[in-house]
């Protein structure tokens, strides 16, 4: 019972019986109407509070759309193999987030960015599947953020175009960052769309407002992991600014596609305080091979 409902109940109990004398019927009627209208107003307020406390229905994630875009596998055998590989990939990331992984504590280890050196290496595929895999963990809540401003694939595939998102939270200081979070119908999975794109994206990513937004998105009541899908490091300047705020970096490398020189150039954009994992994607090696290697600093 909320405060308004308690007030209604108390008013009902304290309301005196209407006087009986026939000489004052007008007074009795006026008093009854005044008390009744007060109770009705309080009851209406209670209904308004109850209605406002209801959350919006969860956003439906269309798995068929994800499959059509190649972000989920329709083949059961391939899906099982992918799920097993993701378990090996996410384990060090989770350990770092709770302080059990790296040799020294990582700042902002709950922030994970998935990027690549150049386009076409499968970073969005990795970001989506990593977020889905992490969401299956009982101890974590996962927030998937579309930080690939030029392509915004996650926003488009989930049908979240036109909704306020990351860029709105950065450009509008009157907007609370938590207002752009979309709850999905997948347990433990939240999404932040890209929002309205801005001209000075790199400057917004490098601003003090960015750190405030990231702190708000990370949450304070639950153990939340924030997974960013970023544009490639060697293609846009905003991706380099975004990576600088992260505690953990997953760099996706296309097998047989990305020259060593480009990988080295991409790694120049991370610093010694970050945990970096190199993920070999599109490999034809046997399934029992581990295609995830990581180094610290």
pLDDT in tens, 207-230: 999 999 999 999 876 689 999 999
Q: Does any domain span residue 281?
A: yes
**Do 144 and 283 have their domain in common?**
yes
**Do 85 and 155 have their domain in common?**
yes
Q: How far is CA 195 from CA 107, 124, 126, 215, 263, in A?
A: 27, 17, 21, 18, 30
**Do 29 and 68 have their domain in common?**
no
Is the pLDDT at 240 greater than 70? The verdict is yes
* Contacts of 69 by beta carbon, 8 Å cutoff, 6+ apart: 153, 157
Q: Which domain holds residue 42?
A: 3-53
Report pLDDT digits (tens) over 98-140: 888 766 778 999 999 999 999 999 999 999 999 999 999 998 9
Q: Does any domain span residue 58?
A: no
**Do 42 and 78 have their domain in common?**
no
Residues in the chain: 297
Output the pTM of the full model. Answer: 0.78
Q: Considering the chain, what is the average pLDDT of its residues?
A: 82
pLDDT of residue 285: 65
In this prediction, what percent of the chain has a pLDDT beyond 90? 59
Contact status, residue 58 vs residue 262, Cβ threshold 8 Å: no
State the total domains in the chain.
2
**Do 17 and 85 have their domain in common?**
no
pLDDT of residue 72: 80
**Do 154 and 252 have their domain in common?**
yes
Mean per-residue pLDDT, 61-87: 85
Give the count of alpha carbons within 13 A of 158, CB side only.
28
Q: Does any domain span residue 146?
A: yes
């Amino acid at each position: 019972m909320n405060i308004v409902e308690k007030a209604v109940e108390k008013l009902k109990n304290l309301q005196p019986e209407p006087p009986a004398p026939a000489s004052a019927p007008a007074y009795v009627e006026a008093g009854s109407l005044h008390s009744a209208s007060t109770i009705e107003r309080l009851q209406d307020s209670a209904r308004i509070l109850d209605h406002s406390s209801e959350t919006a229905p969860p956003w439906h994630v269309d798995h068929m759309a994800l499959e059509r875009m190649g972000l989920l596998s329709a083949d059961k055998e391939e899906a099982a193999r992918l799920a097993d590989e993701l378990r090996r990939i996410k384990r060090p990331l989770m350990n770092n987030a709770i302080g059990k992984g790296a040799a020294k504590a990582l700042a902002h280890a709950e922030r994970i960015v998935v990027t690549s050196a150049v386009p076409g290496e499968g970073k969005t595929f990795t970001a989506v599947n990593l977020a889905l895999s992490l969401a299956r963990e009982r101890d974590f809540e996962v927030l998937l953020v579309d930080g690939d401003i030029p392509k915004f694939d996650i926003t488009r595939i989930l049908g979240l175009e036109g909704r306020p998102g990351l860029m709105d939270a950065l450009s509008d200081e009157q907007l609370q960052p938590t207002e752009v979070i979309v709850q999905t119908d997948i347990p433990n999975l939240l999404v932040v769309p890209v929002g309205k794109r801005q001209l000075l994206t790199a400057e917004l990513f490098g601003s003090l407002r960015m750190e405030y937004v990231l702190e708000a998105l990370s949450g304070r009541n639950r153990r939340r992991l924030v997974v960013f899908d970023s544009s490639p490091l060697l293609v846009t300047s905003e991706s380099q600014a975004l990576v600088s705020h992260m505690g953990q970096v997953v760099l996706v490398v296309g097998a047989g596609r990305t020259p060593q020189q480009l990988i080295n150039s991409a790694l120049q954009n991370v610093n010694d305080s970050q945990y970096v994992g190199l993920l070999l994607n599109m490999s034809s090696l046997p399934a029992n091979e581990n295609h995830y290697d990581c180094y610290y600093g």
